[in-house]
């Protein structure tokens, strides 16, 4: 098949692009390199530097494409609170530009990589797709708006659309920005140096951490799965883990003597997050394979940034 992936030089995009190219597909990659790294892409992926709002470029890149994966976005919740206009321009505006270009060229399917963040705080866990969304940050609002835009424009112009609500993805190659870094690469980075792990609040907040290979499997399946038009589908591990438990796993897997500091003054964010995977199982035949402990171990093993000697132990899966 012929694919276009926006945001392809990023963490999830590069893993997806390389996987599809390995399987023999034609993969075009678009990324403005605002955070992405083109070196993360295999030479078999055709890379173009560009903005997802550049429709003339999209018209060219979309020729003969069977399916688009839309990942280009600004992705930091805390940053979105400071710069909501930028998050709206890229995450919402970029999605609308892409949908217009897809309409003009006539592409059959788009897979939007949305986020579990659209749920916000919910009374019931695990989170089912029909829960009423309650986004808490401009980032979460932008992902929810993108879901609505692809669905409505897709419906009007007969483009099949599906939104994968990915929960907290992690794994080798995840971007580690100096401010507001994602929790897992940040904790690993601190742990391998016997530094300090700073936990927001008391660490009782929970998340659903999903290893990148499992996310890639769900994304690949979404390109061809039948009867998924207009659906929103959760992609997580289905396991709820508190940040306290995560700290323990990180210390164990790195054999670290890092200090752990609980900061009661910082906002822990949403209190609980766990994905219900019933729909993903049914529609995408999705079954996450990698436990959090094994995923942390694989991240250390495969990511050169954590290349300090780490203790080896047998992998469970």
Which SS3 state, helix, strand or coil, does residue 311 take? coil
**Residue 214 touching ligand NAD (CB under 6 A):** no
139 is catalytic: yes
Tell me how crowded residue 148 is: count the other CB atoms within 10 A of its CB.
Answer: 13
By CB under 6 A, which span of 11-19, 217-225, 270-278, 297-305 interacts with ligand NAD?
11-19
Contact residue for ligand NAD among 32, 129, 160, 276 (CB under 6 A) = 32
Instruction: Decide if 67 contacts 111 (C-beta within 8 A).
Output: yes
- Report how many residues bind ligand NAD under the rule CB under 6 A: 30
**By CB under 6 A, what part of segment 39-68 binds ligand NAD?**
51-52
Instruction: Decide if 236 contacts 229 (C-beta within 8 A).
Output: no
Least distance in angstroms from the C-beta of 129 to ligand NAD: 15
**Residue 188 touching ligand NAD (CB under 6 A):** no
Instruction: Decide if 194 contacts 200 (C-beta within 8 A).
Output: no
**Residue 233 touching ligand NAD (CB under 6 A):** no
Q: Which is nearer to ligand NAD, 146 or 225 (CB)?
A: 146
Stretch (H or E) spanning 229:
none
Q: Which is nearer to ligand NAD, 111 or 256 (CB)?
A: 111
Measured distance CA(90)–CA(74) in Å, rounded: 7
**Residue 168 touching ligand NAD (CB under 6 A):** yes
**Residue 34 touching ligand NAD (CB under 6 A):** yes
Measured distance CA(251)–CA(256) in Å, rounded: 5
By CB under 6 A, which span of 32-40, 103-111, 222-230, 285-293 interacts with ligand NAD?
32-40
Catalytic residue among 139, 170, 209, 286: 139
Contact residue for ligand NAD among 1, 33, 156, 315 (CB under 6 A) = 33
Contact residue for ligand NAD among 75, 247, 253, 270 (CB under 6 A) = 75
Measured distance CA(165)–CA(286) in Å, rounded: 13
Residue, CB closest to ligand NAD: 10
Contact residue for ligand NAD among 113, 183, 231, 274 (CB under 6 A) = 113
What b/e string do you get for 236-266 counting C-beta neighbours within 10 Å, with b at 16 or more?
A: bbbbbbbbeebbebbbebbebebebeeeeee
Instruction: Decide if 188 contacts 304 (C-beta within 8 A).
Output: no
Residue with tokens 């897992």: 184
H helix runs in 195-241, sequence order? 212-222
**Residues of this chain that bind ligand NAD (CB under 6 A):** 6-7, 9-13, 30-36, 51-52, 71-75, 90, 94, 113, 115, 143, 166, 168-169, 175
Task: Report the catalytic residues.
Answer: 139
């Amino acid at each position: 098949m012929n694919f276009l992936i926006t945001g392809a030089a990023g963490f999830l995009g590069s893993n997806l692009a390389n996987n599809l190219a390995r399987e023999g597909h034609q993969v075009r990659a678009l990324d403005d390199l605002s955070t992405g790294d083109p070196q993360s892409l295999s030479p078999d992926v055709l890379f173009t530097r560009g903005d997802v709002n550049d429709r003339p470029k999209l018209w060219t890149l979309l020729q003969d494409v069977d399916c688009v994966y839309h990942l280009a976005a600004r992705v930091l919740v805390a940053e979105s609170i400071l710069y909501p206009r930028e998050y709206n321009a890229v995450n919402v505006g970029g999605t609308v530009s892409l949908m217009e270009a897809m309409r003009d060229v006539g592409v059959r399917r788009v897979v939007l990589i949305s986020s579990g963040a659209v749920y916000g705080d919910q009374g019931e866990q695990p989170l089912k797709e029909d829960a009423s969304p309650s986004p808490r940050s401009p980032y979460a609002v932008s992902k929810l708006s993108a879901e609505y835009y692809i669905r409505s424009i897709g419906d009007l112009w007969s483009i099949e659309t599906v939104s994968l609500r990915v929960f907290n993805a992690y794994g080798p190659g995840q971007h580690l920005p100096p401010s507001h870094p994602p929790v897992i690469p940040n904790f690993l980075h601190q742990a391998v140096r016997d530094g300090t792990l700073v936990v927001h609040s008391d660490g009782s907040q929970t998340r659903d951490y999903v290893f990148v290979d499992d996310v890639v499997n769900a994304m690949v399946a979404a390109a061809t799965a039948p009867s998924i038009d207009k659906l929103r589908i959760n992609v997580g591990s289905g396991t709820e883990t508190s940040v306290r438990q995560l700290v323990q796993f990180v210390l164990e897997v790195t054999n670290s003597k890092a200090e752990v500091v609980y900061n009661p003054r910082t906002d822990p964010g949403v209190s609980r997050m766990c994905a219900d995977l019933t729909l993903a199982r049914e529609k995408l035949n999705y079954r996450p394979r990698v436990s959090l402990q094994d995923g942390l171990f694989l991240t250390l093993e495969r990511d050169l940034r954590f290349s300090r000697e780490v203790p080896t132990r047998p992998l469970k899966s």
